[in-house]
Amino acid sequence: MSYVDEVIEQVVKQNPAEPEFHQAVKEVLESLRVVVEANEERYRKDALLERLVNPERQIKFRVPWIDDQGQVQVNTGYRVQFSSAIGPYKGGLRLHPSVNLGIIKFLGFEQIFKNSLTGLPIGGGKGGSDFDPKGKSDREVMAFCQSFITELYKYIGADTDVPAGDIGTGAREIGYMYGQYKRIRGVYEGVLTGKGLSYGGSLARTEATGYGLLYLTEELLKMNGMELTGKTIAVSGSGNVAIYAIQKAQQLGAKVVTCSDSTGWIYDEEGIDVAALKEIKEVKRARLTEYKNYCPNSEYHEGKGVWSVKVDIALPCATQNELDLEDAKILVSNGCIGVFEGANMPTTLEATEYLQANGVIFAPGKAANAGGVATSALEMSQNSERLSWSFEEVDTKLKEIMINICHNISDAAERYGAKGNYVVGANIAGFEKVVDAMNAQGIV
Ligand code: NDP
Ligand code: 2IT
């Protein structure tokens, strides 16, 4: 059996009931097959792949907090410190009832390669909890965040592990976590990114993932002889990534006609009204059913459905496995030319293969949404030098990083005989730097 197949089999056996982690490992290792085969003897002897798929450390802890009725609630907290080969662990904290160890491991594994693709010195990690911020009062969210950090603070720091936002963790949660960390440790350091602007946050971090996704989309279309201006786009999600993806798409001359949340979706033929969306989601923390009050000509539909609309481009920006084979078939039959992942692993393996086989340009999340973590690394730089850069400075750097990613993943794919396959390109380009650092640092 080949080394790659052996390690995939081991991962499935040793990590039962973690299907998302299996999926992420399979996607990466399948892409690396040609690189691994060229170095099989050495990699096998050094157990390189076994070291790659086993986190350096995983921390699981109890998070007790008191709700507004005086009832004690208990959640589970996680931090998976996957790889520090090229820098301190870096990655977000997901707060969502679906969170379990397997989901955090899939996200942490993806993060290794994504962070490497940014070209910046950041290792891979991820964390979170099964806590659901939805419907909680600010005081309850604060109580949870303080309790979460009261345990996690032992394992993080500006030079060791720097968490950030993800699903359910935005500026409010990062603020409460930062305050508690500072109080316990008594140090004012860049231990979290996505901070508020008044206490060390970076301009453009809020916008970075969505903006970066569109910079990459524009460049990859250009590299394939097409342009973004005038295109019709379906976006899923209506959180941090989706909102700023829609905003930048509109600034670049495209029309976004959909967005969604976990209960339903909007079709707005006139183009999504970003100001209304921001007020509903960022200010009121309300449901998308409210959108009709702002844009009476729009349609609200219950359940799933954004991929059923006829569009040129699809930008999944909500969550994992939200675009399956059936969705991919509809997109292709509607003439879709590109799928660019704003979320982490939103497209199933079968859907990805179908899209690629039908000539759709497909950019995996680890490349397409890397603008968020890249800008987090820029926030770390600003914190270290105790300076703040202007919005334009950060945005210019973000754009450069995304354009570099496009060329690096395209070149890597071509070098290994898979021209235009950006999944292969992203996995190989991300892996090359990590493996080089692992080889240089000995068996650790
Ligand atoms: P938010 O919490 O701001 O928004 C998430 C959005 O996705 C909401 O509209 C939410 O709907 C929807 N959603 C979440 N879970 C589900 C689900 N199980 N089914 C259907 N819809 C769901 O998160 P972000 O925008 O930050 O994150 C979105 C994606 O982007 C995630 O995959 C994340 O890992 C990834 N990402 C985020 C980055 C960042 O900087 N924030 C960087 C790179 C990737 P509802 O409100 O109803 O739950
Ligand atoms: O998935 C991701 O890259 C993020 N949630 C952002 C991580 C970060 O450290 O900014």
Q: How far apart are CA 341 and CA 220, in angstroms?
A: 13
Per DSSP, the residues of 196-218 read -GGGTPPTTHHHHHHHHHHHHHH
Query: Quick one: which atom of ligand 1 is closest to the CA of 96?
Result: 15
Query: Quick one: which atom of ligand 1 is closest to the CA of 107?
Result: 34
- Of the residues 114, 126, 195, 433, which is catalytic? 126
Look at residue 106 in the predicted model and tell me its pLDDT. 98
Ligand nearest to the CA of 346: 1
Query: Distance between terminal CA atoms of the chain?
Result: 26
Q: Which amino acid is at 5?
A: D
Ligand nearest to the CA of 96: 1
Question: Whose CA is closest to atom 9 on ligand 2?
Answer: 91
Question: Whose CA is closest to atom 13 on ligand 1?
Answer: 318
Look at residue 95 in the predicted model and tell me its pLDDT. 99
CATH 3.30.70.920 fits 207-368, yes or no: no
DSSP state of 384: H
CA 362 – ligand 1 centroid, Å: 20
Topology annotation, domain 56-192: Rossmann fold (3.40.50)
* Beta bridge mates, 76: 62
Look at residue 169 in the predicted model and tell me its pLDDT. 98
CATH 3.40.50.10860 domain position(s) in the chain: 56-192
Look at residue 50 in the predicted model and tell me its pLDDT. 98
222 has catalytic annotation: no
Q: Which amino acid is at 203?
A: L
Residue 270, SS3 per DSSP: coil
Burial of 403 (0-12, 13-18, 19+ CB in 10 A): middle
CA 360 – ligand 2 centroid, Å: 26
- CA 421 to each of CA 236, 412, 418, 427: distance values in angstroms, whole numbers, following the listed order: 23, 9, 6, 10
The CB of 88 under 6 Å from ligand 1? The reply is no
| pTM as predicted | 0.98
Q: How far apart are CA 432 and CA 116, in angstroms?
A: 9
The CB of 428 under 6 Å from ligand 1? The reply is no
- Which residues surround ligand 2 with Cβ inside 6 Å? 90-92, 114, 164, 166, 193, 344, 372-373, 376
The CB of 371 under 6 Å from ligand 1? The reply is no
Mutate to test the pocket of ligand 2, among 107, 126, 173, 376 (most ligand atoms within 8 A of CB): 376
Question: Whose CA is closest to atom 22 on ligand 1?
Answer: 262
CATH 3.40.50.720 domain position(s) in the chain: 207-368
Question: Whose CA is closest to atom 8 on ligand 2?
Answer: 373
Look at residue 7 in the predicted model and tell me its pLDDT. 98
Mutate to test the pocket of ligand 1, among 167, 243, 285, 317 (most ligand atoms within 8 A of CB): 167
* Beta bridge mates, 169: 166
The CB of 237 under 6 Å from ligand 1? The reply is yes
CA 246 – ligand 1 centroid, Å: 14
Q: How far apart are CA 423 and CA 117, in angstroms?
A: 12
Mean pLDDT by 10 residues, the chain (444 residues): 97 98 98 96 97 98 98 99 98 98 98 98 98 98 99 98 98 98 97 98 98 99 98 98 98 98 98 98 97 98 98 99 98 98 98 98 98 98 98 98 98 97 98 98 96
The CB of 352 under 6 Å from ligand 1? The reply is no
